[in-house]
Amino acid sequence: MTSLADLPIRDDLRGQTPYGAPQKRVPIALNVNENTHPIPEDVAQDIVERIAQAILTINRYPDREFTELRDSLAGYLGHGLTRDNVWAANGSNEVLQQILQAFGGPGRSLLAFPPTYSMHSILATSTGTRWLEGERDAEFEIFPATAVRAITEQRPDIVFFCSPNNPTGTPVSLETIAAAYDATDGIVVVDEAYAEFAPTGEPTALTLLPGRPRLIVSRTMSKAFAFAGARLGYLAADPAIADAMRLVRLPYHLSALTQAAANAALAHADEMLAMVDDIKAQRDRIVRELTALGYHAYTSWSNFVLFGGVDDPNAVFETLLAEGILIRDLAIDGHLRVSAGTEAETTAFLAAMARIKA
């Protein structure tokens, strides 16, 4: 049988492994930062009705410019944004890929600050963009001077920040983002996939967009909107950035069904986001109770918690899995990550951790 090694694959892809967390059927899956709350029934009904309507014209190509969706996303984001500031694709991973297709590639480089979202480096490799790494400060923070030093020393074409950061939950300050922008002539991307889980009233990188045409803020509907299976990510930036995305996007890349489903969900944004406060409460509960058990649970602005002080992460992972609870072993020495689920799911996880610690 022919194997991957037998094929004339690109040399820089040899030895690479695809992205993927374990896909196991368990009663409590808290490993990939999904929103485990179900979509409200009335919202689901509206989504179904809009999809049914879209199917009546499914023989035609969808709106290539997804105009209604961009209007809906701009309205949701606020900050004076219009459709011209917004771009969308099939999940924020495709948005980030398109950014690298437009601004990265052979002969260009991307600077990021590990540990961070593992897809960032995979997307760099897949687009032929050289991956560069900067250091983080204590507690996984990135101070302005640290970011500027890394940019000055390595001169990247693109800088990626993940805020709140995955897998640590750590925010990146607006001061750090602004300092990084001023230190480079390249593109600065802030991946805000978990922005809705930040403390109420905290400003996001969207506030930095005016006057910064090389700044891009990426978002997703997968997390707060419980829309992971729908695959809808988007960005906000200067209108020229959307023009760059048009150069690399595939024709009609957002299906009519995806557009219909996303528009329906955005029409119920308040109801869809009502579950966010409960998730934040469970997240903070995880931090408190794991800390009380003697673990080092990091402060998180996301819907998950990274915790250290684990003597044998694989053993804890396997023990939890045997009880039907799936969390994430990220191969960070002495650490594990758990998503904040419903109250019942969180209770089951914390009870199991207490038994392990006993």
CA distances from 331 to 20, 87, 311, 341 (A): 14, 34, 13, 22
- Name the residue type at position 202: E
pLDDT score recorded for residue 18: 83
Cα distances (angstroms) measured from residue 42 to each of 45, 207, 251: 5, 33, 33
Are the C-beta atoms of 99 and 119 separated by less than 8 Å?
no
| Whole-number Å distance between alpha carbons of 320 and 203 | 37
> Which is nearest to 307 in space by CA: 315, 316, 296?
296
Burial of 171 (0-12, 13-18, 19+ CB in 10 A): buried
pLDDT tens per residue across span 179-201? 999 999 999 999 999 999 999 99
Q: What is the pLDDT of residue 337?
A: 98
pLDDT of residue 44: 96
Residue 336 CA to residue 332 CA, distance in Å, equals 7
pLDDT at 17: 83
Q: What mean pLDDT value characterizes the chain?
A: 96
Q: Which domains does the chain have, with CATH numbers?
A: 21-37+274-357 (3.90.1150.10), 41-267 (3.40.640.10)
Q: How far is CA 332 from the centre of its chain?
A: 19
Task: Tally Cβ neighbours within 10 Å of residue 247.
Answer: 9
Which secondary structure element, helix H or strand E, spans residue 288, and what is its range? helix 276-292
**What is the separation of C-alpha 353 from the centre of its chain, rounded to a whole number of angstroms?**
27
- How does residue 6 score in pLDDT terms, banded at 50, 70 and 90? confident
For residues 38 and 96, the model is more confident at: 96
Both structure tokens of 34 = 């999904």
**pLDDT at residue 114 in the model:** 97
pLDDT value of position 357: 87
CA-based nearest residue to 209, from 232, 233, 193, 189? 189
Beta bridge partners of 109: 130
